[in-house]
Copies of this chain bind each other. A is one copy, B any other.
């Protein structure tokens, strides 16, 4: 009984976060873009009128040093120099920062300080288990730096992941100072109906903007954005069309066109997107051989509610063992393992952990007979608090009499900065180099001396470098 058949929420300008330089780039081409590929389009991006540009964090930090021999901090500064009007955004994995383990609190604080100091306006923080304690130090530091704190809810489906749980999480996040909330659907599982319900539930509880982030892997993402917007979402994450869809985000142009001249218009003109689209089309051609990810839709995600990457991992694990025929059994074991492990969202790293355990439960012929170290660590509480309690009998089988920790995992870590600073002292060109060392010591031990030599035009001395680190002067 409404006049307008399009949308329940009040008219308002919807914002778009462009992910081309971070998530899209990570999802469809494994973060192999170089800074020189990005800079020529920076001004055009700045002219569009995006809500923000996601340009940093996630896997790009590691990839910069590891594969491209580039300083991620310098990339950020270069972008900031050219993008003067639009907010720059980054993704931070809570206490994991942009790495793959928990770092000590001093590292977390220093990293946030430097990220904001080098130009980041909006920091999106999330934790794979939605244990907010893993986000708390980083969040506190973002507030101290005066940046915009966006906190992300790792979206998943399970009996305990009710609308109410998510809405309470959003409330807790706002209590921690969150300036906005992101519904982060890494796996592309969020259906339009769930998006509408979830946005409504969160909006009913908190007063901050809500952003929706999804991936196109199951084909749902654009519909889920639309339904989310109709229900009140304020910002959605999109990627310019040559870098969109498949494992990446919905296309920016499509969302702009979909909302044009309506109650949720983005205010962005397609004309201004044209040079951006043309630039990324050229990059797509340049890196043709490195474009990854499928273009279509993966029905298995919909059928088994597992992320596309997890499905293909399980397939190849089983193939290696000559047990591909047991794929279906493993897929049916996944929900059981997930329940017994307290319903972790299936996102890196928990998707790998749950998938491996499910495989072992099937192949070993006895459930929970073989248990990898990472699974033990989940039961020990080192990843944080699981969404529901773990199954006590399985815990007994996995841990024996060992007791799990109950504190915030980061609390147990001694400060790490000083030792790292000493280690890389000869090559330090900027305070940020110490962070690069702490985060990825194996990569940084080659990268930092190489950068030092390149920058100072000094022969760093082959004798001081080990193995592959030798710098060809």
A274 pairs with B299, CB closer than 8 A:
yes
Residues 43-87 of A contacting B (Cβ, < 8 Å): none
Instruction: Produce 1/0 per residue, A191-216, CB < 8 A to B.
Output: 11100110110000000000000000
Chain B, residue nearest A263 (CB): B193
A302 pairs with B270, CB closer than 8 A:
yes
Given contacts A5-B196, A219-B222, A226-B223, contact A191 B258 (CB under 8 A): yes
Residues 1-31 of A contacting B (Cβ, < 8 Å): 2, 5-6, 8-9
The interface residues of chain B lying within 8 Å CB-to-CB of A297 are 241, 244-245, 251, 253-254
Contact residues of A with B, CB < 8 Å? 2, 5-6, 8-9, 191-193, 196-197, 199-200, 218-220, 222-223, 226-227, 230-232, 241-242, 244-246, 250-251, 253-254, 256-262, 270-271, 273-274, 277, 295-299, 302-303
Residue of A5, A246, A250, A303 contacting most chain B CB atoms (<10 Å): A5
The interface residues of chain B lying within 8 Å CB-to-CB of A226 are 192, 223, 226-227
The interface residues of chain B lying within 8 Å CB-to-CB of A192 are 6, 226, 258
Given contacts A257-B302, A297-B241, contact A6 B196 (CB under 8 A): yes
B241 pairs with A193, CB closer than 8 A:
no
CA A259 to CA B196, docked complex, whole Å: 12
Residue of A222, A245, A270, A274 contacting most chain B CB atoms (<10 Å): A222
B296 pairs with A251, CB closer than 8 A:
yes
The interface residues of chain B lying within 8 Å CB-to-CB of A253 are 218-219, 297, 299, 302
- Inter-chain pairs besides A5-B197, A219-B251, 9 sampled, C-beta below 8 Å: A2-B8, A192-B258, A218-B257, A219-B241, A219-B244, A219-B245, A220-B254, A226-B226, A253-B299
